[in-house]
Structure 1
């Protein structure tokens, strides 16, 4: 790992650093009115249910920050829009920076949209904080100096879930049938899964690429019945996972089921009778820390249901950028980068250990979890339909042990 940048040295070194150091303390005081931040995320289509939770999470963070005086004495004004798809996301990002004067953009779930938003942000020298895009390429070949990632990358999910299956004796010598969303998210997960399985003696008997608009999985389920794999692994996203759960039960299949990327909204939508298997999760409402319990209670009191992991991501993204703005005295993109890459930038994200951004690719290094479906007869309500593991990695392991990607190394352009 590269040595993390020390912000104080950055601000003290050279004429550019001196200029930034002099400008930072006066930045917020020189501005009047609210500090504008954009929020883009899909609210329609197969990722829409996730985007709705993302909006609820960021709205709650906004309410709390502004109730405590805002940032640097200024209230935050959040401009929110449906990103729809990658092209629309790019257009709306351009408009937010050019017409609306936002200082940065948060959000997104689609990795393709993350890429286009980050390219627009870089042209304006502004930050984009990704709250839901998992693609390893965003942290590798498509990385961007102005893009930071609160959501974990696919490789981290694969490594965590792969360890679970390995401990269950379901890797070495076992046959795996995979269904993969046919876009960057699914392609990345498949590549990472293949790398893990090949290294550990697993055998992939099928690599089905599933169109993102597919709703009928009967042809795949017939193949699964014929092949009789040891494990059925889903690298799908959004409402597709829910549809698969329901149809899997209708076909009466009982092969071990799991996957390498998951959002708890899919489990809730499927219901206790259909949800099954073990899945990696960046955070869930059963995480046993005081901060997590407090967040869950506040969210549930406000919205009448517990927060989903996407709500957690967007909530923490706004909290993180607010911490950065307070720390440097402004929202200047280059200064925020220097702060987020520095040793002093540590973040409380409702887990047992503080998180930090890895300087070389701007991935938030943090604990993740594995959730396992409960037997339907043991379920007491519509939300607590799974159990959660403790934090992964364990406290005796380095926090970045899972963050080993198969994607090429990130090289930030100057």
Structure 2
């Protein structure tokens, strides 16, 4: 228990009224708790972090603040993008903290560890930060529901589009952990499936500041496309340094395989002009997303990205399932989550597959030239919509042991 949590507990105990002899006072119902294990201080803080708590709280607010006659509360902690820390926190929260469902997860390595704890303890895991497609592949769980994105959809959207457009030779700069490995693997498969060649790859440590040697190797490879299987601050650093090295001026196309709106804010629109990327959410898509984004931005300084939208979706869908089954029992709730369609401010009758994959539509976007923007954060123009049946890995190819085909 943290010092803040301990202080809150003791303060609450001190505030309890003394019961008169012979009089029993009703105790308040234990809240339904959702635990967010997030990156609060590392490279994924802006794309998830505190914004994920805001998104979860908006979902709870829109649901009415309670379920099963009990209030719903959110707890958040920094998993530090470490599997051991995240797993230990998840276990402590479930065993001793009364947490009913876990969400977020940040780095894929952390998410895979959280998923194993939730499998053992029978808790729903709303997966929004981890991107590896293994979450619903070989490492799938009956309690894991993957919202927003994964490496297969990101890779096949951008990788296929650029290869078909003439970018038929690739070199990869890849984050050296589960997410990067999966994104590289899935993009390589998309490139080769569309007639392209992979000329090489280099692995960069997480939270890396200097990409100069990796960019030199990429340029020397002669590849037409440099695929950046990176995320968060690592991606931002690599994009900035690629511009300094003049890669694009030399005719090389940069494939940013996971760009989020906060990356564009941090880098500046001019730096990002012309970048193509795949995403499942953009704040300026519809009247519904714009209204939701305004509420989010009333509490945060930047617009929401796909992870924030995914947290809102996942928490909302979990609460609906808990209400419908009348319990937080993970087996009953998981069955209901997969049986009913996902509907919210940006999903319309979307289903969750047997392996836990939420089958959103995906979108291929291009960053506008600054002169084309009509207001703050007007960054993206839609190139094409990728329907769910084309965006996501076919069920038979994932290797999920829950799937019987």
Q: Name the TM-score, length of structure 1 as normaliser.
A: 0.83
CA–CA distance in structure 2, aligned partners of residues 196 and 389 of structure 1: 19
Q: Does residue 158 in structure 1 map to residue 176 in structure 2?
A: no
CA–CA distance in structure 2, aligned partners of residues 236 and 385 of structure 1: 21
- What secondary structure, in the 3-state scheme, does the structure 2 residue paired with 1:363 have? coil
Tell me the CA shift for residue 149 of structure 1: 0.8
Tell me the CA shift for residue 196 of structure 1: 1.6
> Which consecutive residues of structure 2, in runs of 5 or more, have no partner in the other structure?
1-27
Partner in structure 1 of residue 362 of structure 2 = 368
Q: Does residue 346 in structure 1 map to residue 341 in structure 2?
A: yes
Q: Does residue 402 in structure 1 map to residue 405 in structure 2?
A: no
CA–CA distance in structure 1, aligned partners of residues 316 and 159 of structure 2: 31
Alpha-carbon contact 1:137-1:407 (below 8 Å) kept: no
Tell me the CA shift for residue 303 of structure 1: 2.8
Greater shift, 242-251 or 55-64, is seen at 55-64
> Which consecutive residues of structure 1, in runs of 5 or more, have no partner in the other structure?
1-30, 394-398
Alpha-carbon contact 1:353-1:367 (below 8 Å) kept: no
CA–CA distance in structure 1, aligned partners of residues 302 and 398 of structure 2: 40
Q: Does residue 175 in structure 1 map to residue 169 in structure 2?
A: yes
CA–CA distance in structure 1, aligned partners of residues 177 and 397 of structure 2: 16
Partner in structure 1 of residue 385 of structure 2 = 391
Alpha-carbon contact 2:338-2:353 (below 8 Å) kept: yes
Alpha-carbon contact 2:175-2:181 (below 8 Å) kept: yes
Alpha-carbon contact 2:188-2:198 (below 8 Å) kept: yes
Q: Does residue 236 in structure 1 map to residue 235 in structure 2?
A: no
Q: Does residue 315 in structure 1 map to residue 304 in structure 2?
A: no
CA–CA distance in structure 1, aligned partners of residues 371 and 238 of structure 2: 21
Partner in structure 2 of residue 23 of structure 1 = none
C-alpha distance 364-352 of structure 1, shift in aligned 2 (>3 A): closer
Partner in structure 2 of residue 226 of structure 1 = 220
Alpha-carbon contact 1:349-1:355 (below 8 Å) kept: no
CA–CA distance in structure 1, aligned partners of residues 235 and 376 of structure 2: 18
CA–CA distance in structure 1, aligned partners of residues 375 and 269 of structure 2: 9
Q: Does residue 357 in structure 1 map to residue 352 in structure 2?
A: yes
CA–CA distance in structure 1, aligned partners of residues 102 and 216 of structure 2: 44
CA–CA distance in structure 1, aligned partners of residues 281 and 74 of structure 2: 24
CA–CA distance in structure 1, aligned partners of residues 326 and 33 of structure 2: 15
Partner in structure 2 of residue 18 of structure 1 = none
Greater shift, 56-65 or 40-49, is seen at 56-65
CA–CA distance in structure 1, aligned partners of residues 399 and 327 of structure 2: 31
C-alpha distance 113-182 of structure 1, shift in aligned 2 (>3 A): same
- What secondary structure, in the 3-state scheme, does the structure 2 residue paired with 1:75 have? strand
Q: Does residue 95 in structure 1 map to residue 84 in structure 2?
A: no
Tell me the CA shift for residue 187 of structure 1: 0.7
- What secondary structure, in the 3-state scheme, does the structure 2 residue paired with 1:103 have? strand
Alpha-carbon contact 1:152-1:363 (below 8 Å) kept: no
| Residue deviations 1:211-243 (CA, integer Å, cap 9, x gap) | 113211111222333334211211111101111
CA–CA distance in structure 1, aligned partners of residues 309 and 220 of structure 2: 40
C-alpha distance 382-321 of structure 1, shift in aligned 2 (>3 A): same
Q: Does residue 283 in structure 1 map to residue 272 in structure 2?
A: no
Alpha-carbon contact 1:286-1:388 (below 8 Å) kept: no
CA–CA distance in structure 2, aligned partners of residues 377 and 241 of structure 1: 24
Partner in structure 2 of residue 77 of structure 1 = 73
Tell me the CA shift for residue 357 of structure 1: 0.8
Partner in structure 1 of residue 53 of structure 2 = 55
- What secondary structure, in the 3-state scheme, does the structure 1 residue paired with 2:342 have? coil
| Residue deviations 1:190-226 (CA, integer Å, cap 9, x gap) | 1111212222210111211111132111112223333
Partner in structure 2 of residue 143 of structure 1 = 140
Greater shift, 41-50 or 160-169, is seen at 160-169
Alpha-carbon contact 1:215-1:243 (below 8 Å) kept: yes
CA–CA distance in structure 2, aligned partners of residues 293 and 259 of structure 1: 25
Question: Superposed, which structure 2 residues align to 1:117-136 within 5 Å?
Answer: 117-136=114-133
Q: Does residue 248 in structure 1 map to residue 246 in structure 2?
A: no
- What secondary structure, in the 3-state scheme, does the structure 2 residue paired with 1:285 have? coil
- Higher RCO (Cα < 8 Å, 6 or more apart): 1
Q: Name the TM-score, length of structure 2 as normaliser.
A: 0.85
